[in-house]
Amino acid sequence: MNYTEFNAEKSLFEQEFGEMVKQAAKSGGVTIAEHNRALLERAKTLFELHYISQDIYELLCRACAYHDLGKANPRMQERLKCSELKFDPDLEIPHNVLSMYLMPKDASPEYDILLFAVGFHHDYGDVFRLLEDPEKQSLAKELLKEWECAKHPGRKAIKKIQSYITQPETKNKMILVKGLLHKCDYAASGETEIEYQNDFLMRKTTRFFEEKGFSLNEMQRFCLQRQDENIMVVGQTGMGKTEAALLWIGDHKGFVFLPVRTAINKMYDRIRNEIIVDESADGIEKQLGLLHSDAVSRLLEQQERNEQRKENVKGALYQEMDVIAYHDRSKQLAMPLTISTVDQLFDFIFQYQTYELKLATLSYSKIVIDEIQMYGADLLADLIFGLKMIRDLGGRIAITTATLAPFVKELMEEVVGEFAYGVFCEREQIRHRIKIIPEMMDAEAITEKFWGCLSAKDTKTPSGKILVICNTIQKAQWMYDELREQIGEERDRVHLLHSRFIRRDRTMKENEICECGATEHEETVIWISTSLVEASLDIDFDYLFTELQDIPSLLQRMGRVNRKGRKAVDDYNCFIYTEIEDKYLERPYVPGREQQRERTTFIDRDIFELSKLALEETLNPEKEGFLSEGRKMEMMEKYFTTERLVNTNYMRKCRKQMEKLNDIVLYELDRKDIRIREDIFTKDVIPLPVYESCQQEIEDSAKKIRSSNTAMLEKIKERSRIMQYTVPVQSYMVQEYEKAVRKGLSAEYCRPVQIGTYEKINVIDCDYDNRMGFRAKKFVKVEDPIFV
């Protein structure tokens, strides 16, 4: 087609465009023109906030204008008038495909970018097949016969789209325009704001420092001075990494990602109550978002607490919020600052249809990844791969952590690119004196320390808060029993926290350990836990007894003792047991041999042995167990290099996952089948003892949820109440229970709680109490009774 023909076609389109957009876009009578204006207003917002460039803005405006033109066909218009009519694939073609027929052609690459964005803006049908099928081409011609400008985009255009999506220089534009079109379309259809401006965070963070009488430390100045750079920041516990991250984000759109929900909730509460401090309708609801799988329940709980006190921590009058609308703004990624788990956004790496919306949003955002050392090999690979995609589109990244292994830093730089790097600690400060115990952990030394603290309390009034961290829940439960038995009459001073308590009990225990773990709180007490406390809870104990897992996790555990560095270290305050059960260690990696993971193994044997070596060589006898902050950093830098870890299972799994992600075919995966969390093998269940004691409340709530007379908000509240009685357990435990029931073993059958048409919660036969938590039963064959 020559230039004259292009101009003629464009002129014909312009003549007919005005009539097309008068037709309906929605069943409520909204016209295509009205809907387009709503999209264009939201596109303008993105441009005025400086989130997108001039050329992307212009392309986005054209995509907004074209995206729904395919609705201007008689069959679609008839359906919009009559809700009883459904889409008939024999009589219709999806409107996103028909819109491709109506777009004005030109010879520029921008035409093909727009064609892709418009044609794929809905996941309706196989677009390329519908364009190539002769019968569908004839049907399209019939449906669009009213419009002389309607014309098949051509095989050449289809091939160009397929080619451009693989070429970096055109692929990025295609992702941005399509993703932003999705974002504008969803916001316009929902009649919501596309973005809320961040014009407050720098001012409020600065105010926080002024009110507290704090001045910026070296790490915080580093972040503030590099707001336009990608940064990696390693800072010792207690240096204010949260505040540093907020200073780096400044008055820009930001996301902060943490590894566990507990940590997210704590950070959300802290930023909300200490930094943003604004419960008005134009305050917190349009400034700070919360995103994780249980966020609505968390927000409802917080609202109920606020309703009870009616004032927030600063004394400002509390305004009741619409929790559902508030959470929807977070889910729509419209909030200026959002605290989230990785699984909520990073699933875009699987390139399902519409993945571009999340990626395009992150492309103009600042991304903070906190405590990256907490992620396993697969999740680390997912994270790094996603960060590369974000950076390629213009997003900026900050890694903030207390411990960063050199191999992680080098892998990040290899895949994602260069970062400004800073390590900050008081190198000579000594907060920990360590005693290595080359044995398996037992209760005797802990009991001895407990009695020593308790007997000294009356004379010297010291604090004797003892934290015991085990690598497994089973070991923690065993240790709890052993310590209570050995301590005897003071057994009520022994407490247990792990992830297999029902939510109600776990929340109570987390609050208790945080209260006990406050630096100024003095008490002789023992808390036993797992890796749960490594990064999620802000606690400050006096003594640590822990099993070794690896050095990064050990440093996190040590950060829960003498956190502020105010306590004397004349005596040992960290006791590390360097022998663990072999069944928890993965077999060594052998190149060329496929390795099947066993159910109980979760610790990389090579990394475990390397960690033992690092401790032994760093804490040689002449050092007397003293470990300064500087030597902690040096230990990480010396032992956890790429060279030392290249042949470990961890690195093998990480590389293998990245290869899988590289091989993904666009739109091949279905979004509903994608899981990015490490806890995909867990399931929420109600323990039978809990169900029996709370059956009335659980079933009453379930009945209200099933009722068509219950309002949506009330259904969410009732579901949240039921979930307070649930505990996450490994899926295999549920399967073993169900198998035992089928085989007629000693497992009591429990009817699931039906909380909706398609959702039910299993009730399983197990042991449970609020001291020990969930314990799986061993089911045995039931012998027939013998009557004499």
Query: Could you report the per-residue pLDDT of 654-682, keeping only the tens digit for each?
Result: 999 999 999 999 999 988 888 775 445 68
Q: What is the mean pLDDT of residues 158-181?
A: 92
Q: Which amino acid is at 418?
A: E
Which residues are CB-contacts of 185 (< 8 A; sequence separation ≥ 6)? 39, 64, 67, 121
Q: Which amino acid is at 525?
A: V
Which residues are CB-contacts of 589 (< 8 A; sequence separation ≥ 6)? 595, 606, 647, 648, 649, 652
Q: Which amino acid is at 5?
A: E
User: Which tens digits make up the pLDDT trace of 457-497?
Assistant: 655 546 799 999 999 999 999 999 999 999 999 999 999 99
Torsional class of 667: left (φ above 0), alpha (ψ -120 to 50), beta (otherwise): left
**Paired residues of 545 in beta bridges:** 468, 575
* Residue 748 token pair: 């009591």
Determine the Cα–Cα distance for residues 656 and 564; give it in Å rounded to an integer.
40
Question: Could you write out the DSSP letters of every residue in 167-185?
Answer: SHHHHHHHHHHHHHHHHHH
* In the predicted structure, residue 75 carries a pLDDT above the cut 50: yes
Determine the Cα–Cα distance for residues 528 and 301; give it in Å rounded to an integer.
27
Which residues are CB-contacts of 39 (< 8 A; sequence separation ≥ 6)? 64, 67, 181, 184, 185, 188
If pLDDT is split at 50, 70 and 90, which confidence band does 601 have? confident
Please name which of 423, 434, 22, 45 lies closest in space to residue 232, comparing C-alpha atoms.
423
CA distances from 678 to 97, 341, 377, 378, 416 (A): 38, 12, 10, 8, 22
**Paired residues of 764 in beta bridges:** 687
Please name which of 196, 389, 353 lies closest in space to residue 278, comparing C-alpha atoms.
196
Report phi then psi at 399, rounded to 5: -105, 120
Question: Positive or negative, the Cα torsion across 410, 412, 417, 418?
Answer: negative
Which residues are CB-contacts of 593 (< 8 A; sequence separation ≥ 6)? none
The number of residues in the chain equals 788
pLDDT of residue 314: 45
Of the listed ranges 143-147, 691-695, 714-718, 761-765, the least confidently predicted one is 714-718
Q: Give yes or no for a contact between 681 and 731, defined as CB atoms under 8 angstroms apart.
A: yes
User: Which tens digits make up the pLDDT trace of 320-351?
Assistant: 568 888 889 999 999 999 999 999 999 999 99
Determine the Cα–Cα distance for residues 117 and 121; give it in Å rounded to an integer.
6
Question: Positive or negative, the Cα torsion across 79, 85, 86, 87?
Answer: negative
Please name which of 266, 260, 231 lies closest in space to residue 245, comparing C-alpha atoms.
231
CA distances from 294 to 262, 347, 472 (A): 11, 17, 24
Q: Which amino acid is at 438?
A: P
Torsional class of 26: left (φ above 0), alpha (ψ -120 to 50), beta (otherwise): beta
CA distances from 229 to 47, 54, 369 (A): 22, 22, 15
Determine the Cα–Cα distance for residues 614 and 607; give it in Å rounded to an integer.
10
Question: Positive or negative, the Cα torsion across 352, 353, 358, 362?
Answer: positive
Report phi then psi at 439, rounded to 5: -145, 170
Q: What is the mean pLDDT of residues 594-610?
A: 80
pLDDT of residue 764: 96
If pLDDT is split at 50, 70 and 90, which confidence band does 788 have? very low
CA distances from 526 to 427, 487, 495, 545, 768 (A): 30, 11, 6, 10, 21
User: Which tens digits make up the pLDDT trace of 527-541?
Assistant: 999 999 987 688 999
pLDDT of residue 327: 87
Q: Could you give the angle at which helices 54-66 and 168-190 cross, rounded to 10 degrees?
A: 60
Which residues are CB-contacts of 215 (< 8 A; sequence separation ≥ 6)? 209
Question: Positive or negative, the Cα torsion across 562, 565, 571, 574?
Answer: positive
Q: What is the mean pLDDT of residues 232-257?
A: 95
Q: What is the mean pLDDT of residues 258-265?
A: 88
User: Which tens digits make up the pLDDT trace of 391-439?
Assistant: 999 999 999 999 999 999 999 999 999 999 999 999 999 999 999 999 9
Which residues are CB-contacts of 264 (< 8 A; sequence separation ≥ 6)? 258, 290, 292, 339, 340, 341
If pLDDT is split at 50, 70 and 90, which confidence band does 91 have? very high
pLDDT of residue 457: 60
Q: Give yes or no for a contact between 694 and 770, defined as CB atoms under 8 angstroms apart.
A: no
DSSP state of 598: P
Determine the Cα–Cα distance for residues 778 and 761; give it in Å rounded to an integer.
22
pTM as predicted = 0.92
Please name which of 528, 459, 461 lies closest in space to residue 493, comparing C-alpha atoms.
528
Of the listed ranges 206-210, 674-678, 762-766, the least confidently predicted one is 674-678
Determine the Cα–Cα distance for residues 389 and 384; give it in Å rounded to an integer.
9
Average pLDDT of the chain, as a whole number: 90
Residue 600: burial class (beta carbons within 10 Å; 0-12, 13-18, 19+): middle
pLDDT of residue 675: 73
User: Which tens digits make up the pLDDT trace of 499-508?
Assistant: 999 999 999 9
Q: Within a 13 Å sphere around the CA of 504, how many CA atoms are in the beta-carbon half?
A: 13
* Residue 193 token pair: 């704001």
CA 435 vs. chain centroid, Å, equals: 36
Please name which of 445, 444, 447 lies closest in space to residue 435, comparing C-alpha atoms.
445
CA distances from 661 to 293, 347, 381, 678 (A): 24, 11, 9, 16
pLDDT of residue 118: 97
Determine the Cα–Cα distance for residues 450 and 466; give it in Å rounded to an integer.
7
User: Which tens digits make up the pLDDT trace of 741-756?
Assistant: 999 998 999 999 999 8
pLDDT of residue 781: 74
DSSP state of 539: -
pLDDT of residue 260: 85
Determine the Cα–Cα distance for residues 464 and 487; give it in Å rounded to an integer.
15
In the chain the first and final C-alpha atoms are separated, in Å, by: 99
- Is 758 or 426 the better-scoring residue by pLDDT? 426
Strands 543-547 and 682-687: unpaired
Determine the Cα–Cα distance for residues 674 and 343; give it in Å rounded to an integer.
10
**Paired residues of 760 in beta bridges:** 754
User: Which tens digits make up the pLDDT trace of 1-46?
Assistant: 444 555 656 778 889 999 999 999 998 889 999 999 999 999 999 9
Q: What share of the chain in percent tops pLDDT 90?
A: 74
